[in-house]
Amino acid sequence: MQSGQGENVRAILEIQKQLLPDLMEQLKKRYTVLHHIHVSRVVGRRTLATSLNMTERVLRGEVEFLKSQGLLEVESFGMSVSESGVRLLEQLEPMIRELFGLSELEEQIRKAFKVKQVTVVPGDSDTSPSAKKELGRAGASALRKLVQEASVIAVTGGSTMAEVANHVQPSASLKASLFVPARGGLGEGVELQANTIASIMAKKSGGQYRLLHVPDHLGEEAYLSLIQDPNIQEILSVIRRTQIVVHGIGEAMAMAKRRKLDAETVSRLRQDGALAEAYGYYFDKQGNVIHKMTTAGLRLEDLENTRVIAVAGGKSKGESIAAVLKYGREQVLVTDEAAARETLKYI
């Protein structure tokens, strides 16, 4: 949104808040209901009431109103947003961003961490599945806007990145692109592996993909042996030509556990003040790299001329997000309101 438009929206909202405060609360509530249904695609009333922490009786009234306005379609298997509802959500978005204070949060993070583009979605991904879905939708949208031509796109694993993959939609530039995993596998659920996420993004966008069939955590001897394999060398050469990286951000100790690091390494990470992990590197609160994994895949030196999108949310990740942003490679950050507010505490 341009600055002039933003100022006009703010001025109108300030007047409405003073004259019609109850109306603004009703607007927020009905937008939230409509938006949650849109993000869920199809959802039942009981599930929605639980997600919104709203009684079924109150929700029933809101659903009936939205249906009467032609904004919702209600079937026996669940509710979905109509085409008119989708258009209304798009028209309301600039006003809602101001109403929830998201535009101001975005601007504060942009200035504080020198990130070119910041998108903040409502909610807290730690406690709200719908907020995590919205984070995924916003991440997929950021990727679609950034890719203007055929590109090699590297993606990491994790639950947030899986949500991004679920919301990827076709575009001409994505269809011409190649999706690759940024690193090897962590040995966890296959649906959260970078290989799986790269393949889902490719299938949903119409693009191509290549896979890297190696574990993420390797001993020095195993690493030196694997990279001699011609097939591994070939896919690594593709990965290291990456033009766009989409990655999540993890809490250092949680990621150390997921990677099954030995006790000595974990102890050293604690002593060195590790707060965050991204693409196999561990960062302290100043954004310094204090540990890197011996692994096949993308390296920090490969990011020099690469556009980087970070997608991470939840209040618990605020300090970790700040640490990675201080390292200074991210051009785009997609996060949620709870994480944004927490991140700003660690400027």
- The reported pLDDT for the residue numbered 24 is 78
Find all residues with CB under 8 Å of 214, minimum gap 6, and list them. 184, 185, 226, 232, 296
Q: What is the pLDDT of residue 2?
A: 47
User: Could you tell me which CATH number the domain at 3-99 has?
Assistant: 1.10.10.10
C-alpha neighbours within 13 Å on the C-beta side of residue 149: 1
Confidence (pLDDT) at 128: 86
Alpha helices in the chain (DSSP H): 3-19, 21-40, 45-52, 56-68, 83-99, 102-113, 129-146, 159-166, 172-175, 194-205, 220-226, 230-239, 252-258, 263-271, 318-327, 337-343
Q: pTM for the complete prediction?
A: 0.86
Q: Other C-beta atoms within 10 Å of 213: how many?
A: 13
Give the residue range(s) of CATH 1.10.10.10 domains in the chain: 3-99
Of residues 74, 103, 90, the one with CA closest to residue 31: 90
Which pair of tokens denotes residue 77? 């298997």
Beta bridge partners of 121: 336
pLDDT reported for residue 220: 64
Q: How far apart are the first and last CA of the chain?
A: 25
Q: What are phi and psi of 346, to 5 degrees?
A: -115, 35
How high is the pLDDT of residue 317?
Answer: 96
CATH 3.40.50.1360 in the chain, residues?
102-346
Between CA 293 and CA 219 the distance in angstroms is 9
Select the CATH number that applies to the domain covering 102-346 from these four: 3.40.640.10, 3.90.1150.10, 3.40.50.1360, 3.30.230.10. 3.40.50.1360
List the chain pLDDT tens, one digit each, 347 residues: 445 555 666 676 677 666 666 777 888 889 989 998 998 889 999 999 988 888 999 999 999 999 999 999 999 889 999 999 999 999 888 888 888 889 999 999 999 999 999 999 998 999 888 889 999 999 999 999 999 999 999 999 999 999 999 999 999 999 999 999 998 766 566 788 999 999 999 999 999 999 988 776 666 677 677 778 888 889 889 999 999 999 999 999 998 888 788 899 999 999 999 999 998 899 999 999 999 877 778 888 888 889 999 999 999 999 999 999 999 989 999 999 999 999 999 98
